[in-house]
Amino acid sequence: MQVWKEKAYYFYGTLKIAVLDLLREQWSIVLTSLPRGIPWPYHTSSAFHGATTAILDGVLYVFGGRDGNVVLGHNIFLALDIEALRWRHISGTSDHKPQNYEPNLRAFASMWAVPETRKVYLLYGTGLRAQAYVSRLPGGSETDHTYKDFWSFHVDDNKWERERMRGNFPSPRAEFAHTWSPALGRAIVYGGYHSSLYTKDDQALEALGPGVHFRYSYFGDTLLYDPKTRLWQMVLVKGFPSYRAASSLVCDPDDGKVYLFGGYSNAEFSPSRRNIVRPYNDLWQLKIDMPGGSWDPEDLERDIQQERLGPWARCAFCASIGVGWQKCGGTCGGQSYFCSKECQKNGWKAHKEKYNCRKR
């Protein structure tokens, strides 16, 4: 979903798009069109998802995605003039043909637009080979293919260019959150998922049995991309949201603040009482110590023992990190965690004085 002039636009694979009027708080369905004689490139008779979108100067750009007929993914690249409600098919197809000078077919990539460079940037994504394998379709395999390429499209030159990965760039992944921050002059990337990158977690191994590894990875890192220097950098943080995929990053156009919301992870990867999937409905603000980063000097005084480290908590007394630490049940509303009854007993006096906490 992308916002342009007080309206949000949601593309779901057909000539019809959903539009939310942000002032009236009202949804509507709008019919768009293609030039005469040009067929719609997606299969509209089956479920569609996994495309990525961006808006630049009143044009909605759409790349990739998958439908029931082509489960591997597409490399279709479209542009919608929002005022005229008319599409332009720029490049790509649903055919399984390797491309050298433009991105190949994929779903769950990330795309953002940078007005200063007049470019739309496309990062990573995945070819859904496992679903094609199950459906006995061409291109299938037991594991998905996660891309490690980075592209830009110049909207004036109408040309794709493959970007070099320089600096401390993100590892290959899909389903990661992304946004462009005009205040920072940076693209921001958070989290994501890799379907075949193994993860070793000693605490999880104790719970699941010796020799057990996760055959996939969820990420919880934050990275920035500067289109002027073309360099990536990692953000070092005190605390961070839990490892997750399919979350949303947004930048408030009025004050430049950056927020992250939602997402999901596997219930064993990020321990949860749920059986398979752990969904999130938490809201975070990203603060970075650089111009436009909404940084407050008081953030330096934040108690590191109260910071969440993904799915882990830090004991308020011994500072050990783990899963399943007990939250204080007093009047403080759970400001501190304790790893054992002994630590709770030893740390109670300091905790009570700091938060004016009393037993319920």
DSSP output for 138-152: TT--SS-EE---EEE
Helix (H, G, I), strand (E, B) or coil at 350: helix
For residues 292-318, give the mean pLDDT: 71
Chain centroid to Cα 183, Å, comes to 20
> What is the per-residue pLDDT for 166?
96
| Cα–Cα distance measured from residue 71 to residue 131, given in angstroms and rounded to the nearest whole number | 7
> What is the per-residue pLDDT for 135?
82
Q: Which of 233, 130, 147, 240 is nearest to 193 (CA)?
A: 147
> What is the per-residue pLDDT for 228?
96
Whether the predicted pLDDT of 312 surpasses 70? no
Whether the predicted pLDDT of 61 surpasses 60? yes
What are the residues whose beta carbons fall under 8 Å from the beta carbon of 290, sequence distance 6 or more?
184
Region of poorest pLDDT, from 88-97, 123-132, 243-252, 267-276: 267-276
Q: How confident is the model at residue 316 (pLDDT cuts 50, 70, 90)?
A: confident
Whether the predicted pLDDT of 325 surpasses 60? yes
Whether the predicted pLDDT of 162 surpasses 90? yes
Q: How confident is the model at residue 263 (pLDDT cuts 50, 70, 90)?
A: very high
What is the pLDDT of the chain when averaged over all its residues? 87
> What is the per-residue pLDDT for 351?
84
DSSP 326: E
Per-residue pLDDT tens digits for 12-24: 999 999 999 999 9
| Cα–Cα distance measured from residue 61 to residue 80, given in angstroms and rounded to the nearest whole number | 6
Q: How confident is the model at residue 273 (pLDDT cuts 50, 70, 90)?
A: low
Q: Which residue has the tokens 């790509």?
A: 92
- Give all domains of the chain, ordered by start, each with its CATH number: 2-300 (2.120.10.80), 313-355 (no CATH)
Q: Output the pTM of the full model.
A: 0.84
What are the residues whose beta carbons fall under 8 Å from the beta carbon of 209, sequence distance 6 or more?
none
